[in-house]
Amino acid sequence: MGEGTVLERLEMVEGANAHLIGGKLIQGNASFAVIDPATGRPFALCPEASQADLDAVVAAARAAFPAWAARTPEDRRALVHALADNIAAAADRLAPLLTREHGKPIEQARMELTVAAHHMKQLAALEIGDEVLRDDARGKVELRYHPLGVVGAIAPWNFPIALAMHKVAQALYTGNTLILKPSPYTPLTTLAVSGLAADVLPAGVMNVLAGGNDLGAWMTAHEGIDKISFTGSVATGKKVMASAAATLKRITLELGGNDATLVLADADLDKAAAGIARSGFYNCGQICMAIKRVYVDEQVRAPFLEKLVEKVSALRVGPGSEPGMDMGPIQNRPQYEKVKAYLEDAVARPGAEVLTGGSVRGGEHGEGGYFIEPTIIAGLDETVPLVCEEQFGPVMPVLSFTSEDEAVQRANATRFGLGASVWSTDETRARAVAGQLMAGTVWINRHGLNESDVPFGGMKESGYGREHGVLGIRAYQELQVVSRPTG
Ligand code: NAD
C-alpha cells in the first residue's frame, strides 16, 4: 500500500480534532499526519492552522484580555485550578493518546498529565502581588505588576503536556490571555486538553492552534502578541529571539542542554549510579536537563561503571502501550536518525568501549519503530559529537578525570549551561565544586528535579530568562514603578 493510500485512510481523533479559537472548537480546512513512533507509521490526522487562523485567534485573545486582566488573581487562580483538576481527572483517558503520539510508557504518560496538573496548581498559587519598595522620608515607591497582554506559548515534543501547561498556568494566573502551539510531532493530547479548557475558562482566554514550524514563526512575528514563552532547541530559540526583536516582544527561552555530572571519589556510588541512570534514561533521555555527559574520578571509575551498567542494562524497552516498560521509542524520525548517527560515530572511534547496549532496533530510517537500546560508552573525549553536542537520547558517554579542577574545566567547556550536578558525601567539597559549574541549576547528590517554586533556566546558550518560582512568573508581568512624596 502506498503512503498516499495510508494518508487517505487516516482520520482525526475524536476529542482531539479541532483548534480552540475564542472558545470555539474549529477544525479548519487543512490537516497533517501524526506518526506513532512505536511503528514509524502515521495513525491520525491533526488540523493545521493557517495564517488567517492565527489572525482570528489573536483577535479573540486580545478581545478577552481586558476582562480577564480585570479579574482578581484569586479568581483567575480558581479557574486555573479548575482546569488542572479537569486534566488530572482525565489522566487515565488521555494517557493512551499521549503514549500513541509520543511513544512514552503508559505509566509515564499518566504521570505527565497528573504532575502537570499538580504543577499548574502550585504555579497559580505563587505570590504575584504588588510590593512597596520603600516608604520613608524620601517618599513612597511601589512596584506594581501588570499583565503583558497576549502570550504566545510554543512547546516542544518531549513533554508535550507538562511544558505547555506550565506556560498556561503562569500566563493565565498573571492575567494574560494565551495562544498555545504544540509541537507538530505531538499535537493531539494538547488539542484534547483544549476541550477541557473550553469547559472552564471564558472564551478567548486560552486558545490552542496546531500547526507546523511556520505557525511558530508567524507567532513570533505577529504584532498582536506581546510575549513569547518558548521551549525548544537552541537553534530555534535564536530564530525566535531574532524574530521577536522586530516588535520588541518579551521573551523567555528555555533551550537545550548538555548537562555534565561529576562523580567525586568520595561519592556514594550506589546513589550516584541510580540517580544518573534515572536522569539519563527517563523519557528515553529526551529531557533538556537530562544528564548527557558523566565525569567520574579515575579512582572510582571501575566500581561506579559496574553499578551504572547494572542499572542501565536492566531497563525494559518496548512500545509504550505495553505495561511495565521503562523506555519507549525515540519520539520522532529526525531525532532517531540524529541519535543513531551520534551512536554510530561514537562506536567507531578508536578506544570507544560500549559497556551496555549499542544497537538500534528500528532499522536505517526507523521502519520498525524508533527504538534505540539504552547505551553507555566509555573511552571518548570532548572532540566526539556525542560528548560535546546535545544527543537528546538514551546514549550516555562516561569520561574520567584525575582532578576536580580538571573536571570542572571540562564540564564548563561548552556553549550550553542548563544544568549540572556533583556527587559527593562531603557537603563543603560538593558546594565548592557546584559554585564553579556554569549552569542555571546545579544539583548536589541528585539531578533533574523540577519544582514549581524554584526558578529554572539556562546560562549561556541554554536560555534567556527563567520560568517557575516568583522570579519566573514575574516574566509574565510588566513592572510599573509608582512613586510619590511622603505625606
Ligand atoms: P524545536 O526547537 O525543534 O521546536 C520547538 C517548537 O518550536 C515546536 O513547537 C516547533 O514547531 C516550533 N518552531 C520551529 N521552528 C520555529 C520558528 N522558526 N519559530 C518559532 N517556533 C518554531 O525543539 P524540539 O525538537 O521540539 O524540542 C527539543 C529541544 O527542546 C531540545 O533541545 C531540548 O533540550 C529543548 N528543551 C528545553 C527545555 C528547557 O526547559 N530548557 C525543556 C524541554 C526541551
45 and 182, same domain (yes or no): yes
Q: Are residues 291 and 389 in the same domain?
A: yes
Sequence-distant (≥ 6) Cβ neighbours of residue 306 within 8 angstroms: none
Is 236 near ligand 1, meaning CB less than 6 Å away? yes
Cβ of 380 below 6 Å from ligand 1:
no
Q: Decide if 421 contacts 444 (C-beta within 8 A).
A: yes
Same domain, 210 and 312: no
The answer to whether position 458 is within a domain reads no
Q: What is the pTM of this model?
A: 0.97
Residues 231 and 119 occupy one common structural domain: yes
Q: Is residue 47 part of a domain?
A: yes
What is the rounded CA–CA span in Å between residue 365 and residue 38? Answer: 13
Burial 185-224 (b: 16+ CB within 10 A, else e): bbbbbbbbbbbbbbebbeebbbbbbbbeeebbebbbebeb
Domain encompassing residue 329: 259-451
457 belongs to a structural domain:
no
- Ligand 1 nearest-atom number relative to CA 211: 11
The secondary structure of the chain in percent helix, strand, coil, rounded to multiples of 5, reads 40, 25, 35
Inside any domain, residue 456: no
Could you give phi then psi for residue 294, rounded to 5 degrees?
-115, 130
Same domain as 241, residue 188: yes
CA atoms within 13 A on the CB side of 39: 10
CB atoms within 10 A of CB 448: 20
**Residue 367 confidence (pLDDT):** 87
Least Cα distance to 325 among 102, 485, 44 occurs for: 102
Note the pLDDT of residue 189.
Answer: 98
Cα 344–Cα 448–Cα 303 angle in degrees, nearest 5:
65
Is residue 305 situated within a structural domain? Answer: yes
Cell output for 440? 542555571
Same-domain check for residues 81 and 168: yes
Half-sphere exposure of residue 445: CA atoms within 13 angstroms, side-chain side: 14
Q: Annotated active-site positions, please?
A: 167, 254, 288, 467
Contacts of 438 (CB under 8 A, 6+ apart): 412, 417, 420, 459, 460
Cell of 229: 514563552
Question: Are residues 224 and 182 located together in one domain of the fold?
Answer: yes
H helical segments located in 90-229: 91-102, 106-123, 160-173, 188-200, 213-221
In this predicted structure, what is the pLDDT of residue 1? 43
Contacts of 350 by beta carbon, 8 Å cutoff, 6+ apart: none
Indicate whether residue 151 lines ligand 1 (CB < 6 A). no
Q: Is residue 137 included in any domain, yes or no?
A: yes
CB 358 near ligand 1, within 6 Å? no
Cell representation of residue 140: 513612597
**Bridge partner list, 152:** 179, 228
Query: Ligand 1 mean position to 33 CA, how many Å?
Result: 19
Q: Kindly list the distances between the CA atom of residue 244 and the CA atoms of 146, 240, 420, 458, in Å, as whole numbers in the listed order.
A: 20, 6, 29, 19
Same domain, 186 and 288: no
Q: Using a 6 Å cutoff on CB, does residue 174 contact ligand 1?
A: no
**CA 262 to centroid of ligand 1, rounded, Å:** 27
158 pocket-lining for ligand 1 (C-beta < 6 Å)? yes
294 contacts 397 by C-beta, under 8 angstroms:
yes
* CATH code: domain of residue 243: 3.40.605.10
> Both 115 and 178 in a single domain?
yes
Number of structural domains found in the chain? 2
CA torsion angle 286 289 291 296 (round to 10):
170
How far apart CA 4 and CA 8 sit, in angstroms, is 6
Task: Say if residue 281 is in the same domain as residue 142.
Answer: no
Write down the residue that cell numbers 567547556 correspond to: 413
Give the per-residue pLDDT at 4: 60
Q: Can you tell me which atom of ligand 1 is nearest the CA of 184? A: 11
Ligand 1 contacts CB of residue 392 (under 6 A): yes
CA of 156 to the centre of ligand 1 (A): 5
Residue 487 forms part of a structural domain: no
Taking only the tens place, the pLDDT of each residue in 295-344 is 999 999 999 999 999 999 999 999 999 999 999 999 999 999 999 999 99
* pLDDT < 70 stretches in the chain: 1-7
Looking at the fold, whether 389 and 297 belong to one and the same domain comes out as yes
CATH number, residue 286: 3.40.309.10
Which residue minimizes the CA distance to atom 18 of ligand 1? Answer: 217
| Residue 362 located in a structural domain | yes
Q: What is the pLDDT of residue 123?
A: 98
Residue 156 CA: nearest ligand 1 atom is 26
For a mutational test of ligand 1's pocket, the pick from 214, 236, 291, i.e. the residue with the most ligand atoms closer than 8 A to its C-beta, is: 236
Which residue from 190, 191, 218, 231 has its CB within 8 A of the most atoms of ligand 1, so it is best to mutate? 231
- Length of the chain in terms of residues written: 487
Q: Are residues 269 and 240 part of one domain?
A: no
Is ligand 1 within 6 A of the CB of residue 283? no
Cell of 448: 533533574
